[in-house]
Amino acid sequence: MKSLSLAAICAIALGVMALPPPAHAQTKTVKACEEEWRANKAANQKAGITEKDYVVKCRAEAATAPAPTTAPAPAPTAAPAPAAPAPAPAATKTAPTQTKTSPAPTPTGAGQFATEALAKAHCPADVVVWVNLKSKVYHFSTSKDYGKTKTGAYVCEKEAEGFRAAKNEKHP
């Protein structure tokens, strides 16, 4: 009876060790970040934080958050059993996933950035614009479409070759 329960404990321990590691943190959606801002609207407005700035910062912080780690399983006390092969590490995604409720940036080329902060760091003296990769039109930060189209990226205006400014917008 004792050896049967010890064997069961060892089998459970080996099963736990064979589980895949937890998935890496995903970038928050625009909608999730907007909801967070609205939940603390009074405090954010008092601090002078606009919703748009909060969303950009929220998504950038979620993308750089470290992945959760798990503690190693305790070693079995019985005689060692043949070890199961180690699971392959989970593949990490380089771009956030897209949903129908909240568009996510999908940069595809050089000079295209997933966040406004990365684009501003790349070209601090130039105006950062949002390019719609599908329509080949770019929008300024004063536009309602800035950072909101389904497929797009932040770029420096001088590097927006092959794109044109939206006709209904004025240069800031």
103 or 4, which is more confident: 4
pLDDT for 72 equals 57
In a domain, 97, yes or no: no
pLDDT in tens, 124-153: 888 999 899 889 999 988 888 888 888 888
Per-residue pLDDT at 114 exceeds 70: yes
Is residue 108 domain-shared with residue 61, that is, in the same domain?
no
Confidence of residue 119 (pLDDT cuts 50, 70, 90): confident
In a domain, 157, yes or no: yes
Task: Tell me which DSSP letter residue 138 carries.
Answer: E
Question: Where is the domain boundary, 42, 66, 90?
Answer: 66
Domain count, the chain: 2
Tokens representing 21? 């590691």
In a domain, 93, yes or no: no
In a domain, 163, yes or no: yes
In a domain, 19, yes or no: no
pLDDT in tens, 6-33: 666 766 765 656 665 554 445 678 888 8
Tokens representing 101? 């409720």
Cβ atoms of residues 132 and 145 within 8 Å = yes
Output the pTM of the full model.
0.40
- What's the domain range around 133? 103-167
pLDDT for 83 equals 58
Of 153, 164, 171, residue with least CA distance to 112? 153
Distance of CA 29 to the CA centre of its chain: 8
In a domain, 94, yes or no: no
CA distances from 4 to 8, 11, 15, 75, 125 (A): 6, 11, 16, 18, 71
β-strands 128-132, 164-165 pairing? unpaired
In a domain, 44, yes or no: yes
